A and B are shown apart, each in its own frame.
Chain A
Amino acid sequence: MRYLTGLFKTIKPVTTLIALSLLIFTYGCSDYTTADKTGSSKTEPQAELTKVIAVGSQWYGHIPTFVGIEKGFFKEAGFDLEWRFIGKSMDRLNAISSGEAQFASLGEIAMLSAMAHGNKRFYWVGNQDIAPGFEGLVGGPGIKTFADLKGKKIGFPFGSSVDITGRTLLKANGLVPGRDVELVNLEVGDVPAVLRAGNVDAALIWEPGFSQLKAVEGMTVLGMDTDTDIYKKFHTMTGPDVLILGKKWTDNDPARAKRFLTAYFKAIDFVKNNPEKTAEIVQGKYVQQDLELLTKNLKRFKWLGAADQAKVMTESGIYGQADYVTEILKNDIKAIPEKPDFRKWVNLEVIPSGSN
């Protein structure tokens, strides 16, 4: 017995020591890997692949990244690209701001909002698609017109592009949120089920949920992003996809960043020219959607290549639209305190010039 208690007495410090050293070890490891992820290409020979973490969701705007991985475009350019799922735009941007991830595509709304709140840890390096007609407001059974919405509940993911689309459409139809209709925050993935269960009366959603809901009997499309002033003025979706690079990672080696984007735009070109093949490549592994719907949507999707960027990333291009959106964010939604000068976040130098 005495022997046993003695043993326990010695075990305690030993286990504490083991636990401590394990902690230190894992900390050391994580430190090592982060160091490896960023800015190591200078010291390492060209043959070694540079690790890059890209974050995204199942939205079509990320498809070029998947294709770039699968077709080996990134590897050819010297990058070992690791893709990680992060569903929400702002979470992706925060992952980049923290330095853990280096590249992402995300919604313009989240980007502008982050800028307005003073996040300076990223660059805006392009706009790879303008795809209007992929999101809208769907009314459940009994909701056929905007007038039917009075006193009802509308569910959607707050802070996403449909937030703007929805509020713009409601305003245009004389409905005031909070007074005439109740808005409810939902996760993207929950939207179709929640509307079908009748827990909300209408929902705002983008693809593929939009097509899923349209196909359900009794559902009515009340409006789409193409019905908004934003589309009428600029012929874009409400919140076009934007490309984001980590600021530190880019500044450490601008040439490397440019090399990376060159590989990315090579993937864009492939997707643009081969929608069917693209659908086959990404379906199942990256995008869990019906192949037919995916192919159809990919053919409708309007991709912008490297050569287009010189036209898009200008005052007459997307900047005007971004200005207009920040106006809405500040005055209508009151989501941002000031209109940010987003041009300060643009880094044109790392965008490849491209050739058509």
Chain B
Amino acid sequence: MKNKKNFELWQVAVIGSVGLIVFLTVWEGAVRSGLIDAFFLPPPSAVLKRMIQLSTGTDAVLLRDIRVSAVRVLVGFALSALVGVPAGLLMGISPTMRAFFNPVISIIRPLPALSWIPLSMLWLGIGEEQKYAIVFMGCFASVLVYTTDATMRVDPLLSLAARNLGAKRLQVIRHVILPGALPNILSGLKVVLAIAWTCVISAEMVGANVGLGFRIWTAKEWSDTGQVLVGMISISITVLLLDILFRLVERALLPWQKHGVHR
């Protein structure tokens, strides 16, 4: 860490912007010069134009798409965290629970969200519940595994110290395991939040009429590559914004973490 070159924030911003501009210029140039067929990859200027079209005037669908998809992501994600974090804590604390649930979790975890579409439609139809369910199923097992792992990685010495100070079992969980696992649980949840977005795009493949996934899939049916790209970029931007938001939450919850560095 020490020997790495440390840039100021503005320097990072400038270098990053230059990188982005170079990337966009090369892209635009490659299409304009005919190196790439614009049908296969519309230039950034065309994508931007399409983005403006889709977010202003009578056809302003983009903001609603973002909002609807974000709600689906957040609801499904929140549900999976609500169930997965306590269950993961339990599994992290109790070897019996871990042994009991591990096989089932191992079966569910590798299933892609897409594979839940047929059953979810059968059980829940094509409404919002089904979208939430797909996001939930795509996230739940990961939340569980990350939380279990985070719980098990809490330094056992800290539990020992707490017990020495007179902590009962529940107090150890409340005062040591929970706060000790929190940083790793949060970084796990951050990864899962990105997974949730891949799930919602799958969920919106069928039985949808709004959402970024729907926008991309229908644009494909019309061969509207520009709109496909607008949808993709909107996902990136939204995920980026949510990530920043998440970092702020993280910072608020873990005030002790950013310090560690100045030793």
Known: A120-B39, A197-B125. A184 touches B207 (CB 8 A): yes
Kindly list chain A residues whose C-beta atoms are within 8 Å of the C-beta of B214.
185
- The answer to whether the Cβ of B208 comes within 8 Å of any Cβ in the partner chain is yes
Chain B, residues 200-235, CB within 8 Å of chain A (1/0): the string is: 000001111100001001101111111000000000
Q: Which of A120, A159, A183, A334 has the most CB of B within 10 A?
A: A159
- Given contacts A185-B209, A186-B206, whether A159 and B221 have CB atoms under 8 Å apart is yes
Are B221 and A110 in contact, CB atoms less than 8 angstroms apart?
Answer: yes
Count of chain B residues with Cβ under 8 Å from any Cβ of A? 24
A118 touches B39 (CB 8 A): yes
The 8 Å CB contact of B224, one of A184, A185, A197, A335, is A335
The verdict on B152 contacting chain A, using a C-beta distance below 8 Å, is no
Determine if A113 and B127 form an interchain contact, defined as CB atoms under 8 angstroms apart: no
Q: B39 contacts A119, CB within 8 Å? A: yes
How near does chain A come to B260, taking the closest CB pair, in angstroms? 34
The contact of A190 among B38, B206, B222, by CB within 8 Å, is B206
Residue positions of B touching A, CB distance < 8 A: 37-39, 59, 121-122, 125-127, 205-209, 214, 217-218, 220-226
Closest CB in chain A relative to B225 CB, distance in Å: 7
B39 to A117, Cβ gap below 8 A? yes
B218 touches A158 (CB 8 A): yes
Looking at chain A, what size class is its interface with the partner chain? 35 or more
Q: CB < 8 Å: which of B208, B217, B221, B226 contacts A184? A: B208
Contact call A93/B223, Cβ cutoff below 8 A: yes
Chain B residues lying within 8 Å of A200, measured Cβ to Cβ, are 126
Q: How far is the CB of B166 from chain A (nearest CB, A)?
A: 45
Decide if A155 touches B221 in the complex (CB within 8 Å).
no
Q: How many angstroms from the CA of A117 to the CA of B121 in the assembled complex? A: 33
What are 19 A-B pairs with beta-carbon distances under 8 A?
A97-B39, A110-B221, A110-B223, A116-B223, A117-B224, A121-B39, A155-B207, A182-B209, A183-B209, A184-B126, A184-B208, A186-B126, A190-B206, A194-B121, A194-B207, A197-B125, A199-B126, A334-B59, A335-B222
Cβ-defined partner of B222 (8 Å) among A90, A186, A187 = A90
CB-based contact B223/A113 at 8 Å: yes
Which one of B127, B205, B226 lies within 8 Å of A199 (CB-CB)?
B127
Residue pair A159, B207 in contact (C-beta under 8 Å):
no
Q: Tell me the interface secondary structure of chain B in the complex.
A: loop
* B223 lies within 8 A of A155 (CB): no
Q: Which residues of A contact B59 (CB under 8 A)?
A: 334
What per-residue 1/0 map shows which CB atoms of A99-128 lie under 8 Å from chain B?
000000000001001101111110000000
User: Known: A117-B223, A159-B218, A199-B127. Is A187-B38 also a contact (CB below 8 A)?
Assistant: no
Asked if B125 and A185 make an inter-chain contact with CB atoms under 8 angstroms apart, the answer reads no
Nearest chain A residue, comparing its CB with the CB of B53 = A337
For A116, the chain B residues whose CB sits under 8 A away are: 223
CB within 8 Å of B: which of A154-197? 155, 157-160, 182-187, 190, 193-194, 197
Q: Contact at A117–B206, with CB atoms within 8 Å?
A: no
Docked-complex contact B221 and A199, CB < 8 angstroms: no
Q: Are A90 and B39 in contact (CB under 8 A)?
A: no
Whether A90 and B220, one on each chain, are in contact in the complex, defined by CB atoms closer than 8 angstroms, is yes
Q: Which residues of B contact A159 (CB under 8 A)?
A: 218, 221-222
Residues of B within 8 Å of A93, CB to CB, are 223
Closest to A197 in B: B125
Q: What separation, in Å, do the CA atoms of A94 and B220 have in the docked complex?
A: 10
A120 surroundings in chain B (CB, below 8 A): 37, 39
Q: Does the CB pair A186–B207 fall under 8 Å?
A: yes
- In the bound complex, CA of A236 to CA of B126 (Å): 33
How many Å from the CB of A151 to the closest CB on chain B? 15
Tell me the complex Cα distance, A155–B127, Å: 12
What residues of chain B lie closer than 8 Å to A187, measured between beta carbons?
A: 205-206
B87 to chain A, nearest CB (A): 31
10 pairs of A and B residues whose beta carbons are closest in the complex: A159-B221, A199-B125, A114-B223, A118-B39, A335-B222, A117-B223, A199-B126, A158-B218, A119-B39, A113-B222
Closest to B126 in A: A199
